[in-house]
Amino acid sequence: MTTSFGGSVNIVKEVDIPKFHGLKSGSDLNLSRNAISLPSTTRSLSRIRAVSTPAKPATVTEKRSKVEIFKEQSNFIRYPLNEELLTDAPNINEPATQLIKFHGSYQQYNRDERGSRTYSFMLRTKNPCGKVPNQLYLTMDDLADQFGIGTLRLTTRQTFQLHGVPKKDLKTVMSTIINNMGSTLGACGDLNRNVLAPAAPFVRKDYLFAQQTAENIAALLTPQSGFYYDIWVDGERVLTSEPPEVIQARNDNSHGTNFTDSPEPIYGTQFLPRKFKIAVTVPTDNSVDLLTNDIGVVVVTDDSGEPQGFNIYVGGGMGRTHRLEATFPRLAEPLGYVPKEDILYAVKAIVVTQRENGRRDDRKYSRMKYLISSWGIEKFRSVVEEYYGKKFEPFRELPEWEFKSHLGWHQQGDGSLFCGLHVDNGRIGGKMKKTLREVIEKYNLNVRITPNQNMILTDIRASWKRPITTALAQAGLLEPRFVDPLNITAMACPAFPLCPLAITEAERGIPDILNRIRAVFDKVGLKYNESVVVRITGCPNGCARPYMAELGLVGDGPNSYQIWLGGSKNQTSLAQSFMDKVKILDLEKVLEPLFYHWKQKRQSKESFGDFTTRIGFEKLKEYIEKWDGPVAPARHNLSLFADKETYEAMDELAKLQNKSAHQLALEVIRNFVASSQNGKSE
């Protein structure tokens, strides 16, 4: 199967997986009292099978995973979590460990320790569009110090992660977040996760419409049964107003999408087969990695910039399992176009199609991408149209996509400024954390988190630019031109020491890996302003989206990585597996010949990812096998130095710090800028 996106063609693997036949109807299971009652005006739909009581397998071949059993027996994600939280043990049992994910938390333990385990919990917030009100940011900052490990982490889905919370403090932390304009409900678990949208606070019709749509979709797919509030704030719901169109779309059952007489009209007792991810954006802005989502939504405007409707993509997903070829990363593909007033109904129809037909027997194959790969897009579209009640219109033409970091200073369009800050690996701690709090608190700023683990400070008056720039620079939060280009687009997942799935390092290892890549660049003669998109994960689940990188490193053993090549700078092409079991100490043996031949043989302005795809993996491996070093020593790049002697002295000093001369020189310059920042406008 081939899919076209932005003019490029991507090959999608076909997989033949035994089908799970979905939740069975009341009549199939002798549960007629729970079957959906459709209005007499509604046409008969043969594949409406939703029931409000969990279905038991009709035959021995329709097995269910144990997580499905836990959900079925949980009284809508309450039991036994509610009882486990009351025990004196530092951890919770297996069913509760699965259920607490729906509440936005994972149980973890410190894998650096040997012997007995020290348990703690990671909490993840839910922030549609990455929006973080001032009050919530200050609250999260406090909680990190009082109950966590003293740091905050910005995630690739525009949320916070708070690590190291003891079980005894969970209720205090959760209730504090809820009472300060935040939520963790649905940040993890088998339901819709945080809905992405461009974080930039541009006052433009398309951006504002995309962000409002993302918030409406998030509200539409938020659990309704109250389990979250029952456990963390003793049933006291925090009242929030919902747009009437969200309420109407959620309650509409004219095409058999809902569970009747159920506290969860969309999810029922079983929720979804696996996690579900949605992103909304505007044409050209692919800051959200659109094609990695189960649903990708793109605003379509008329010539005057007025939003008219949406192009919808479906079937993206990153997770896979090593040495199991039936699992794979996949790009979303076009489904169709809908007018703007229908977007909530179309999204709901897609979610219900996955709910009813996604596999519940083997969680490795439960994401919607496997359903679409098995069915094909035409069959998938026809089933979705039954729940939607309409035919999808043809896709509207879109311009080429770009990756937009939104870093640096920008005009919002309303007289205020915003400032995008690069945060290495999204980890906020130490002096950076202290300074950010001071700035955000002093100027009463709101915050947005980007899908690249960075942060945006919004609604800044022009007169504040100079003091804010000075304060941030002194804390190491520099303008993009002072940040290594490799770091600007790099991402890593947390991995060790707390993630139970990690096979090797990611966040803790990426600073050294990026330094080594920069040193290889210098050795083969690549310029400092050149870069590649590097993403690293400690396991194949792909939380930092390495399968879209030009150079992806995926942990496949202790101090070992699988190397993926061929992604594009604008995140519209899927990388491919290139080499397995590359030890961390051997990275240069692979990267030196690849980067050298890229420099020597690339076409005009050809990116590294495009180069590796054009040359082909067989030839690239030949380069590696025959590598004896550069044909001639790379000429000294003296642009930062007065003479060769200065360069050589700096080079010797840099080697002692495991850096390149360029890196050390730039650090000196950055420190000078930070210490003598005069705040002059650009």
The predicted-structure confidence for 233-253, as pLDDT tens digits, reads as follows 999 877 678 999 999 999 999
Residue 308 host element (H or E): strand 307-314
**pLDDT band at residue 116 under the 50/70/90 scheme:** confident
SS3 72: helix
**pLDDT band at residue 614 under the 50/70/90 scheme:** very high
Give me the pLDDT at residue 52, please. 33
Sequential DSSP letters for 171-182: HHHHHHHHTTT-
Average the pLDDT over each of 60-64, 167-171, 191-195 and give the range with the smallest value: 60-64
Copy the structure tokens of residue 586: 């051997």
pLDDT digits 0-9 by tens, 297-312: 999 999 999 999 999 9
Per the prediction, the chain carries an average pLDDT of 89
Q: Which amino acid is at 231?
A: I
SS3 520: helix
pLDDT digits 0-9 by tens, 537-564: 999 999 999 999 999 999 999 999 999 9
Identify which of 113-117, 465-469, 474-478 has the greatest average pLDDT.
Answer: 465-469
pLDDT digits 0-9 by tens, 216-236: 999 999 999 999 999 999 998
Q: How far is CA 636 from CA 31, 74, 517, 627, in A?
A: 78, 66, 17, 21
**pLDDT band at residue 663 under the 50/70/90 scheme:** confident
Residue 74 host element (H or E): none
Give me the pLDDT at residue 630, please. 82
Average pLDDT over residues 10-30: 40
The maximal CA–CA distance of the chain, rounded, in angstroms, is 88
Q: How far is CA 536 from CA 46, 286, 324, 565, in A?
A: 45, 20, 20, 12
Residues sharing a CB contact under 8 Å with residue 479, sequence separation 6 or more, in sequence order: 408, 409, 469, 473
Average the pLDDT over each of 52-61, 164-173, 181-190, 552-561 and give the range with the smallest value: 52-61
Give me the pLDDT at residue 209, please. 98
Q: How far is CA 69 from CA 82, 96, 621, in A?
A: 17, 12, 47
**pLDDT band at residue 631 under the 50/70/90 scheme:** low
Task: List the one residue out of 573, 568, 577 whose CA is nearest residue 621.
Answer: 577
SS3 60: coil
CA distance 145 to 160: 14
Give me the pLDDT at residue 658, please. 67
pLDDT digits 0-9 by tens, 319-336: 999 999 999 999 999 999
Spatial contact of 158 and 449, defined as CB atoms under 8 Å apart: yes
Average pLDDT over residues 651-662: 71
Neighbours of 641 (CB within 10 A): 18
Give me the pLDDT at residue 17, please. 45
Q: Which amino acid is at 111?
A: R
Neighbours of 645 (CB within 10 A): 9
Q: Which amino acid is at 221?
A: L
